Amino acid sequence: MSEGDELDRPPATLRFGISGIGLLGPGLADWAGAQSLLVQPSGYTPAPTVLPTTERLPPTERRRAGAVVKASVVVAERAVAMAGADPATLATVFASSTADPLNCHVMCETLATAPLQVSPTRFTNSVHNAAAGTWHIAVNSRAPSTSLAAHDDSFAAALLEAALQCVASARPVLLVACDLPYPEPMHTLRPVADIFGCALLLTPPAAPAAWTVALDLTSPQPASVCDGAALDAVRQQIPTARALPLLQALARAAAGGAGGAAHRVVLPAQDGIALALEVQAR
């Protein structure tokens, strides 16, 4: 290994900040309303996710966009607004285990019939980076964007990717993850309980942020679970909701104030690794 290779190796611990959060899920309408429920989960009651309208998309795009695009845009704009950031300047990492299940279902039905005429709009929204493309067009951004999937570990994979980009570039990175239920018959094979979306705006260590995070790659460890049975059921039933232990740690760190205790979270990832995170309010 050359000296240059050694210099290019990422640090053993990735340190970054989080300055904005967007959240949408069952009984969790937004981050502001969810914080108290995450801190004291005894008050949490599951309820079907209500997908709000976003003015970020023009009316024509709102009609054409699938639910995964709409939910992703909603949480992304909330995280950006909380941080007071300019969305046009932000690199992004989008993740989803399911992408657009209804669109996939309808296209499969179409391909099983004659004539085989797939709607161009449906085809456009079938690609995995549809949400990323819609967001970047909506905010007039030419910043880099990555879209990925890693089954149940999609959120963890996206968090690692976003953290690496943030540390390597010393620039903010917007992480957006979202999953939706499949229609039958796919739902029986891959049950996803409801819509869940989450966005985090990661910032370099020296930049202003509400939280600081230290991320280490470790060998496989038991996954962190949510405090509260009803909340943990959501974590188990929706891939992106694997983010809930981290969100709970962020809410509790904020409640404890700057300089409070660190909160540790373990998120399993693929290829025999786990992400160990320590969260503190700044």
Comparing 115 with 141, which gets the higher pLDDT? Answer: 141
Cα 103-108-109 angle, rounded to 5 deg: 100
- For the beta sheet containing 13-24, the strands, ordered from the edge strand earlier in sequence to the opposite edge, are 145-148, 91-95, 173-179, 196-203, 13-24, 211-218, 273-281, 263-269
**Mean pLDDT computed over 105-111:** 86
Span 190-226, pLDDT tens digits: 999 999 999 999 999 999 999 999 999 999 899 999 9
Q: Judge whether residue 78 has pLDDT over 90.
A: yes
Q: What pLDDT is stored for residue 7 in this prediction? A: 45
Distance, CA of 117 to CA of 39 (rounded, Å): 50
* Pairing of β 13-24 and β 196-203: antiparallel
Distance, CA of 198 to CA of 179 (rounded, Å): 9
Q: What pLDDT is stored for residue 9 in this prediction? A: 54
Using the 8-state DSSP alphabet, how is residue 172 labeled? -
Q: What pLDDT is stored for residue 4 in this prediction? A: 47
| Biggest CA-to-CA distance, the chain | 64
Q: Could you tell me the pLDDT band of residue 111, with boundaries at 50, 70 and 90?
A: confident
Handedness of CA 77, 66, 94, 87 (dihedral sign): negative
pTM of the model: 0.92
Lowest mean pLDDT among 153-162, 189-198, 259-268: 259-268
Strand partners, 214: 15, 278
**Mean pLDDT computed over 262-281:** 94
